[in-house]
Chains A and B, each alone.
Chain A
Amino acid sequence: MGQTLFAKIWDAHRIADTAGGTQLIAIDRVFLHERTGSAALRRMAETGREVLDPARVFAVMDHIVDTRPGRGDGTLMPGGEGFIAQTRAATLAAGITLFDVNDRDQGIIHVISPEQGIVLPGLTLVAPDSHTCTQGAFGALAWGIGSSEAEHAMVTGTLRMERPMTMRVTFTGTLAPGVTAKDMALALIAEHGAGGGAGHAVEFAGEAVGALDMEGRMTLCNMATEFSAMTGIIAPDAKTFAYLANRPYAPTRFDDPFWATLRSDDDARFDREIVIDSAALAPMVSWGTSPEHTIPVNTTVPQGPERAHAYIGLAPGAPIEGTPVDAAFIGSCTNSRITDLRRAAALLKGRRIAPGIRKALVVPGSLAVKRQAEAEGLDKIFEAAGFEWRMSGCSLCFYAGGEGFPEGSRVISSTNRNFEGRQGPGIRTHIASPETVAASAIAGAIADPRKVLGKGAPA
């Protein structure tokens, strides 16, 4: 019987079976950020342990760095400088490559890893960050771990793992205009639950996945953790290799026959299969406090947990479209890449955000994305529409205790989590695609991007 892509990569990294029944898996790359990586580095220094192979460990400052123009090491988060100073000192001492605050290649961990060619098809890559699964878009086995596990991976070059089960999610057909990879991910979680992928490594496949560009594939894999999956993965194809060739840490060419083996065999069996008809999908928006609380933008709020309704302030039966919003956010490792910004800018061109919007931010995923966007004049479009144009980082994807949205805001956001308090105490988050965020910012209320797209840019 054929093998799944997951099994091929897993088996190729299996060093030994441990006495306790787990498997010892070789880890090819470790990536740290200043928020959780600093804890791993600190403990390693305290216990006198050393990194096995520093050339394969990377670190970045992205989570709590300031994103206001002209930034330095200062951050609005109380105590934030400590994380920056400690990460800088510890990575230097350990010989780990660091993408520092204003390094020209700085950006969100899961945006810069592919930009640098650090993630490659067939590799194992871990980071103490749950959205590491984003990088599975390149056909790597990439997953999030805790700080202790990061220390384990750095010191031993391995992790002790229980082998997960496999699931394939096949998206058949073609997406309608205005429907994106973000909507695919949200539709999957809405239908199968935030715990639906538990215990599984999920391969995304099918015509609609093949049709996505690499950035769309990253958006889809990004949300695998919101599905509780160990990771998401997509078989590499010509687009994948074209994207990676000649990146700083990648091979210049991918003509070794090995690369062509990185796909699930036709007769491979998965432990679970889900099939979704892409043509039937609509733009999705969350109504509650879990990513599973998500509905098509043209429908009404269903009956959910009491507490979710109370927090978000929307009763069952209310239409989601037309719900007034106070703020808009475009950014995060889900939707902050150049194509995300292009698509949002296409809607915003020649338009203004509604007067009721008190804060609107665009935060490019990396400084490279920022430079590219500026070369295309996107920054001017966003600014003319009333958005602030920022330096790259995680920014208000989460609230670290510094900068926040105006008190009590309802935010339409291109991020991945709508948890209570995720973007600040009492802040109500609605997650959606960058198109839906842009359309909603223009309307001042949750809006269906297809209605704006149909109109074209105003003269």
Chain B
Amino acid sequence: MKPVTTITSRGVPLLRDNIDTDTIIPSREMKTTGRTGLAEGLFAPWRYTNAVDRLADPAFALNQPEAAGARVLLAGANFGCGSSREHAVWALVEFGIEAIIAPSFAPIFRNNCLRNGLLPVELPADVVRDLAWQTVRIDLPSQTVSAGDQSWPFDIDPEAKQMLAEGLDAIDLTLKLKDTIRRWLDADRRTRPWVYLEKST
């Protein structure tokens, strides 16, 4: 996973509340069990005027010339609600998005972001709205977003910050606690035996 430090990009506005993962990557665009080949299906229902020829809809923010190469999306509240499909995050990352700024994120989506080096930044709705089309600088070490001569602090829990900043893999990190987990399981097996199923086949 690529470590995240600072990101400077124009902010592309998709300022609707409750943008769901069916819209970010429709199920029909998830064609294999892998994590690649998804960028083309990103926002397919909005990005293309027509599902067959895939003609770009000029009204859609990401299709506008100013959006070329943009790495920061601006969105409404509860972004990423709906299906748990991690493909939504994989598609965004493959497309080149590195951070999303929104008033709030759906919980499963937010976790999926953190596991894939995509930075979710929470800022109040009016601030997000004002950032539309501006050049935005996100600085993870100092936890600030700035644009023009203004800047805003954002919250992120220390573990999420460290994992993003160092590009750490959560499984590797947890496996360092393997012995603690093993001891806990051995004790738990005695108190809650019904949890531990024997394989019947």
Question: What is the interface of chain A, defined by CB distance below 8 A to chain B?
Answer: 15-16, 18-22, 24, 26, 28, 35-36, 38-39, 42-43, 49, 53-56, 77-79, 82-83, 86, 95, 97, 120, 122-123, 128-130, 144-149, 151-152, 155-158, 160, 162, 194-195, 198-199, 225-226, 228, 230, 249-251, 258, 290, 292, 305, 307, 398-401, 417, 419-422, 425
Given the known interface contacts A145-B84, A148-B112, the answer about A398 and B22 at a Cβ–Cβ threshold of 8 Å is: yes
Number of inter-chain CB pairs below 8 Å: 182
A120 to chain B, nearest CB (A): 7
**How far is A18 from B201 in the complex, measured between Cα atoms in Å?**
36
B68 within 8 A of A: no
Q: Which B-chain residue is minimally distant from A157 (CB atoms)?
A: B181
Chain A residues contacting B30 (CB-CB under 8 Å) are 35
Question: What is the interface of chain B, defined by CB distance below 8 A to chain A?
Answer: 16-18, 20, 22-23, 26-28, 30-35, 45, 51, 77-78, 81-87, 89, 104, 106-108, 111-112, 115-116, 157-160, 162-163, 170-171, 173-175, 177-178, 180-181, 184-185, 188, 192, 194-199, 201
**How far is A357 from B25 in the complex, measured between Cα atoms in Å?**
30
Chain B residues contacting A128 (CB-CB under 8 Å) are 84, 86
**How far is A195 from B125 in the complex, measured between Cα atoms in Å?**
14
**How far is A157 from B157 in the complex, measured between Cα atoms in Å?**
23
24 contacts between A and B (CB under 8 A): A20-B157, A20-B162, A24-B174, A24-B181, A39-B33, A77-B28, A79-B31, A82-B32, A86-B33, A120-B195, A128-B86, A130-B84, A144-B84, A145-B84, A149-B115, A155-B175, A156-B178, A157-B185, A194-B18, A195-B81, A198-B106, A290-B20, A399-B28, A417-B22
Q: Are B181 and A15 in contact (CB under 8 A)?
A: yes
B128 to chain A, nearest CB (A): 15
Ordered nearest first, which 8 A-B pairs have the shortest CB separation? A20-B159, A401-B28, A146-B112, A195-B78, A146-B86, A148-B115, A38-B33, A130-B84
Q: Are A290 and B33 in contact (CB under 8 A)?
A: no
Chain B residues contacting A54 (CB-CB under 8 Å) are 199
A452 to chain B, nearest CB (A): 32
**How far is A160 from B170 in the complex, measured between Cα atoms in Å?**
8
**How far is A158 from B111 in the complex, measured between Cα atoms in Å?**
15
Q: Which A-chain residue is minimally distant from B115 (CB atoms)?
A: A148
Interface residues of A: mostly helix, strand, loop or mixed? Answer: loop
Q: Are B20 and A55 in contact (CB under 8 A)?
A: no
**How far is A49 from B16 in the complex, measured between Cα atoms in Å?**
40
A240 to chain B, nearest CB (A): 15
**How far is A53 from B174 in the complex, measured between Cα atoms in Å?**
16
Q: Are A16 and B22 in contact (CB under 8 A)?
A: no
